[in-house]
Amino acid sequence: MPISILKDYLDKQHVKYECLNHARAYTAQEVAASAHVSGKSLAKIVIVKAGGQLAMVVLPAHDHINFAALKAATGWKDLNLASESEFKSQFPECEVGAMPPFGNLFGVPVFASSELRHYPQMVFNAGTHIELMRLAYADFERLVKPKVISTSDW
């Protein structure tokens, strides 16, 4: 998704946001360092597959998914990390691994870590490995309506 489509969506929703450019980076740690943002406010997206369906998990860059806890929270028994080939076509025009956390724009359910609520702002990839967006977490939650999962024991 080119950043312009995401900007148009946010503008129509009257959401304040900031665009940030940084040197090309691929891992969450590299992105945070390159953009000079905290890994706590940087949201990373992990695509999982449950029963043949894709889902997006949004969590702080410094966290890891606890699959046992996610299975318990969702009730999914068959839950695995999705491979790039399984989800690439679901996010057209996005660079693989740089999808924004707006699964609602792609027809993908979104699960968000409760840890993100601790920070008033969140920063995330905006479809490429050189562009980020920053917006209020409350706006993200209002627009995306993710299922928020307590990750205190992750």
CATH of the domain at 81: 3.90.960.10
36 and 69 Cβ atoms separated by less than 8 Å: no
Domain-embedded: residue 7: yes
Instruction: Provide the pLDDT confidence category of residue 8 given band limits of 50, 70 and 90.
Output: very high
Domain-embedded: residue 154: no
pTM equals: 0.91
Q: What residue numbers bound the domain in which 135 lies?
A: 3-149
- What average pLDDT does the segment 104-131 reach? 93
Domain-embedded: residue 117: yes
* Strand order through the sheet with 43-50: 79-81, 43-50, 53-60, 110-113, 147-149
27 and 49 Cβ atoms separated by less than 8 Å: no
Residues in Cβ contact with 131 at an 8 Å cutoff, skipping those fewer than 6 apart: 3, 19, 20, 21, 22, 98, 125
Domain-embedded: residue 21: yes
Domain-embedded: residue 50: yes
Percent of the chain with pLDDT over 90: 60
50: nearest Cα among 147, 151, 153: 147
Q: How big is the chain, counted in residues?
A: 154
Q: Do β-strands 147-149 and 131-136 pair in parallel, antiparallel, or remain unpaired? A: unpaired
Instruction: Provide the pLDDT confidence category of residue 101 given band limits of 50, 70 and 90.
Output: very high
Q: What is the pLDDT of residue 152?
A: 60
Q: What is the pLDDT of residue 69?
A: 84
Q: What is the pLDDT of residue 93?
A: 85
Q: What is the pLDDT of residue 117?
A: 92
Structural domain total, the chain: 1
